[in-house]
Amino acid sequence: MARNDGVLAAHRFGLGPTATEVADMEDDPQGWLLAQLDGSPALPPALAAMPPVSENVVDWWSAVIISVAELVRRIRTEYAQLWYREARARIEVGITTEQPFRERLVWFWGNHFTCSGAKAVAIGMAGGHERESIRPHVTGKFKDMLFAAVSHPGMLFYLDNYRSMGSNSVSGGYQNRGLNENLAREVMELHTLGVGAGYSQNDVREFAKMLTGWTFAYRDQENPGEFWFRMGSHEPGPKTVLGKTYEEAGVEEALAILELLAAHPATARHVAFKMARHFIADDPPPAVVDRLAQVFLDTDGDLKEVTRALVQSPEAWDPTLSKLKNPQEYVVAVRRALGHAGDLDDLMQSLSSFGHSPFMASSPAGWPDVEEAWINPDTALRRARFSRHAVSQVSGSLEPLALAEATLGDRATPEMLAMIGSTDARQGRALLLASPVYQRR
């Protein structure tokens, strides 16, 4: 049973097992998962080589000063190349990491707080947003991640808050700009309370007023390219959100609301539902959602403890493979099984063909986390082609039957084993990795 649970742990909680990963769990898959929640691992080398987002912000502003045409040129060249390097490095880390559960948590929370390069203004900042504001907090307090994600220049650009001004502010009186509600709306709807939590459009608007002035520092200011509160753009006066009135307090106004939202019972339930849906089933067991929400509230949003409760939930170990791997999960799982990253540029092209390039979600809601979003008439064919191509790039991998034993255990049926064992090694590996059971977690 422990080996079967190890296979389940590697697929459901990790990023797909390597040829030795299940054996390395030493019959304690829960312990293997929980150990990855401890400590603060150093940034993987592929990501440590990336420049801070503040550099891109400063360069962006320099381009704006020159001309719109110059900004467009840089977006299409230097900034697009920066996105590509970030995305490529993220996939490389997924394939090579020895802490795949922790890495999956980064993917999950990065999607929860989506900052997407699909919006040209943020293309050079999207990957760095996850690296700088999400990755350090996946086992910390939710409120710390919330503040880091919302105040990060990548998010301020992506949701247009960097240019939001109060109509009664000093700057709003002479610049042709107004209030932008995007960030306030998405924080409430997507990042914290969730849809149907009882807040109103007026709450969104008042919160947006509190967020005016949340922007970035110019080149001649302290910490250029990083978060900066510009009082001259801030809407003065009291604001009322969720029935509570806040007196004028500058940057502290929005901080107070973020603190309130982070501790709200609706946020606890929203986060719990999304975690259970991601790791267990598209329609998660209500008991798990209730359990995780309560731990969230009892621990002041301690994500390490919420994640621990998830791992220790009996429902999380149901052997039914309820989740379909999305394209990023699938291609990384295939490469991990083969024990070779292969040609990463080629892999990025494959992800593009799947319509699932990193940091390119089409909306602030992020990539969908339900099976129906990734099922279409040519899904099976595309995945079969990818598995054949991936196998053709690797030599020296395990023989098909040994690979099936290492990565699927008893999930490989006798019929499946007979099929992959009746052909040559390369074809057998491709059939294994394209099999329906391998595509699920």
Band of pLDDT at residue 397, cut at 50, 70 and 90: confident
How many domains, the chain? 1
State the Cα–Cα distance between residues 76 and 129, nearest whole angstrom: 19
**Quick count: other Cβ atoms within 10 Å of Cβ 118?**
16
| Region of residue 218 (phi > 0: left; psi between -120 and 50: alpha; otherwise: beta) | beta
Residue positions counted in the chain = 441
Give the CA diameter of the chain: 77
- Has residue 376 been placed in a domain? yes
- Has residue 260 been placed in a domain? no
Contacts of 80 (CB under 8 A, 6+ apart): 123, 124
| Full-model pTM | 0.96
State the Cα–Cα distance between residues 275 and 271, nearest whole angstrom: 6
What pLDDT score does 71 carry? 97
State the Cα–Cα distance between residues 13 and 9, nearest whole angstrom: 5
- Has residue 294 been placed in a domain? no
- Has residue 412 been placed in a domain? yes
β-strand pairing of 244-246 with 239-241: antiparallel
Token pair, residue 24, equals 């390395």
Tens-place pLDDT, residues 282-321: 999 999 999 999 999 999 999 999 999 999 999 999 999 9
What pLDDT score does 340 carry? 79
Tens-place pLDDT, residues 370-379: 999 998 888 8
State the Cα–Cα distance between residues 141 and 144, nearest whole angstrom: 5
**Could you tell me which of 223, 218, 264 has the C-alpha nearest to residue 244?**
264
- Has residue 413 been placed in a domain? yes
**240, 319, 337, 434 from 379: Cα distances, Å:** 49, 24, 20, 11
What pLDDT score does 176 carry? 65
- Has residue 342 been placed in a domain? yes
What pLDDT score does 394 carry? 81
Residue 393 domain boundaries: 324-434
State the Cα–Cα distance between residues 256 and 246, nearest whole angstrom: 9
Start-to-end C-alpha separation, the chain: 17
State the Cα–Cα distance between residues 263 and 301, nearest whole angstrom: 7
Token pair, residue 374, equals 């990734």
Tens-place pLDDT, residues 173-192: 666 679 999 999 999 999 99
Q: Taking the CA of residue 197 as centre, how many other CA atoms within 13 Å lie in the half-sphere pointing to its CB?
A: 23
- Has residue 18 been placed in a domain? no
Contact 339, 95 (CB under 8 A): no
Can you state the angle between helices 400-407 and 414-421, rounded to 10 degrees? Answer: 150
Band of pLDDT at residue 20, cut at 50, 70 and 90: very high
State the Cα–Cα distance between residues 372 and 374, nearest whole angstrom: 5
What pLDDT score does 173 carry? 63
State yes or no: pLDDT of 50 exceeds 80.
yes
State yes or no: pLDDT of 1 exceeds 60.
no
Tens-place pLDDT, residues 102-147: 999 999 999 999 999 999 999 999 999 999 999 999 999 999 999 9
Tens-place pLDDT, residues 63-99: 999 999 999 999 999 999 999 999 999 999 999 999 9
Can you state the angle between helices 80-96 and 327-338, rounded to 10 degrees? Answer: 50
- Has residue 284 been placed in a domain? no
State the Cα–Cα distance between residues 109 and 139, nearest whole angstrom: 11
